[in-house]
Every structure is written in structure tokens, then in C-alpha cells.
Amino acid sequence: MLSVEVAKLKLENPLMIASGVCDMTPDLLRRAHEEGAGAAVTKSIGIKPKKGYDNPTIVELPYGLINAMGLPNPGWEAFYEEFINEKFDFPIIVSIFGGDEKEFAFLAEKLSDVADAFELNLSCPHAKGYGMEIGQNPDMVYRVVRVVKDVTDKPVIAKLTPNIDNITKLGLAAERAGADAVSAINTLKAIAIDIYAKKPILSNKVGGYSGQGIKPIALRAVYDLAKALDIDIIGIGGITTWQDAVEFLMAGAKALQIGTAVSLRGFEVFGEINEGITRFLIDEGYNDVREIIGIALE
């Protein structure tokens, strides 16, 4: 009832753990799957090890989080060594980031043996020289997707930034370049200030806002992309309840990534959301989750 195919990947349910939620060791990814995630997206991996920013890196707000982690990761070689001998019975989507299209291509080529698909981080709002700084330009989105498609036969997913006037321009560029899917959205550029210290709380000053507060924005982005694109869409942004998940599916998302809700409530959110979607489908007379995907577009 809940199985879907997205970006040529077969998932037993539409839920994925989003990139960067926790220290994503093979065992933690397996635990997310055991708790109900149909697939897992790894932390974003770069060419060299990256420590990330100094603390504080997270601010908790009433309706979400602002984070500026700085893309901490072990580098592609250490990641490869950790994952190359691991076996998974669910899709592993490797998130990669680079400063230009050559770095993305290098990583995709080196990590193809440990990835079922790649998610291109074209949208991190707080890492200078990476992510959003590249991903706001449709021409650069096209170039990155194109070179990655040239070096790997694994599905390619472009993760899009909402920090732009029209996200469909980015989606269309990714589609033209041959992307198998887009994921939307990444976090919104944000800041929090300590009124007693009289300065921004985060060490990087600016971070990315995620969680319940961005859900209407993310849902609108998915809706707009679904109307404009022919490739698959993976919805991200504030999905906390099964009702949220159903909204994103009806707006045209074929799969959903969950991040902040996992950080705040634990892996059990996957089981709760899957159970809620199943109950909804039965109560509303549907036999398959695919029957409601995009129904709000009609």
C-alpha cells in the first residue's frame, strides 16, 4: 500500500531520513530503516575532511531549528572505507557537495560503488563557496547535474534552495540536465540574536531554518515544481505529522524526507507517519499511496 518508486529507486514506503540529521553511521541508517524509513540520505560528503563551525551551531525555536553546522564530514576517502563493505536492504542516497562542477563529478565517480543514488547539495545556506552560493544559479545547477550524469549511472537528485525568487527555474535546469528527481526544499537562510549578549547566537551568525515553521513554504515549492516538471519530486520541509506527509504527497511529492522532526522526537516519527498515512488511505477508500500523489494539482 505504501511502496513507491522515485528516481528509479524502489522504496517500501515514501519516507526517507534527510541528510545531516545525526552522525549517520551505517548502524544508525539501519536503525532509521527499522523504525520505518524507506530510504536514507547520508550527511553531505566533500573531497576533504571538514570540521565544521565552532559551537553554538544550533538554535531551537518554538517551531523549528536554525543550524549552521558548516558541512562537517570525514571526506570522501574515510566515508568510502566506512561504507564499502556494508550491505543494506534499502536504498542509500549519498549526499555530496563541492565548490564547482568538477568536484561534484569527482565525488560521484569515487563514491558510485557505495551509493544507490546521489543527492547533490546545491542548497546549503550557510557554507561559504558551497551549496546555495552555487545552487541559486540555474546555469550552475545545469552544469553540476550534467557532469555528474556523465560520470555515474546511478540516479541523480538535485536538492534545491528556496532562497531564490522562483524555485522552478532551478528545477527546470536540473530536469534539462538529466536529473532523475529534485528534492525541495533545503533550509531557509535565517538568524537569531541574543539580546543580552547583543550579537547573533550562532558562531557563523547566519544559519538555515528548518522545521514546522517552513512547512507552508516547502509545500508551495513542491506544488509549483510538480506543476512545472516531469521528473520526480521529493518533498522536504517541516514534515512532522502524517497529515503533513499527506499534504506533500497530494501536492505532487513522490517521496518525503524528514529531518528536524527526527532530531526533536527521534526515529519513531517514521512509524507514526507511516501508520497515519495507511489509516488515512483506508479510511478514504484508497488502495495505494500512489493514488493520492499529485491529486491536489488536478
Q: Is 260 part of any known ligand binding site?
A: yes
Crossing angle of the two packed helices 268-283 and 242-250, in degrees rounded to 10 = 60
- Under a CB-based contact definition with an 8 Å cutoff, are residues 75 and 46 in contact? yes
- Under a CB-based contact definition with an 8 Å cutoff, are residues 70 and 95 in contact? no
Q: Is 185 part of any known ligand binding site?
A: yes
Give me the active site residues, please: 124
Q: Is 213 part of any known ligand binding site?
A: no
Helix segments in the chain, DSSP class H: 26-34, 76-83, 101-111, 132-135, 138-151, 167-176, 215-228, 242-250, 260-265, 268-283
Q: DSSP label at 289?
A: G
Q: Is 73 part of any known ligand binding site?
A: no
Which single residue is written with the C-alpha cell 547533490? Answer: 120
Q: Is 20 part of any known ligand binding site?
A: no
Q: DSSP label at 24?
A: -
Q: Is 193 part of any known ligand binding site?
A: no
Which single residue is written with the C-alpha cell 553540476? Answer: 144
Q: Is 252 part of any known ligand binding site?
A: no
- Rounded distance between C-alpha atoms, residue 145 and residue 218, angstroms: 22
Q: Is 69 part of any known ligand binding site?
A: yes
Q: Is 166 part of any known ligand binding site?
A: no
Q: Is 70 part of any known ligand binding site?
A: yes
Binding site for FMN, by residue number, is 19, 43-44, 121, 159, 185, 211, 237-238, 259-260
Binding site, by residue number, is 19, 43-44, 67-71, 121, 159, 185-187, 211, 237-238, 259-260
Binding site for substrate, by residue number, is 43, 67-71, 121, 186-187
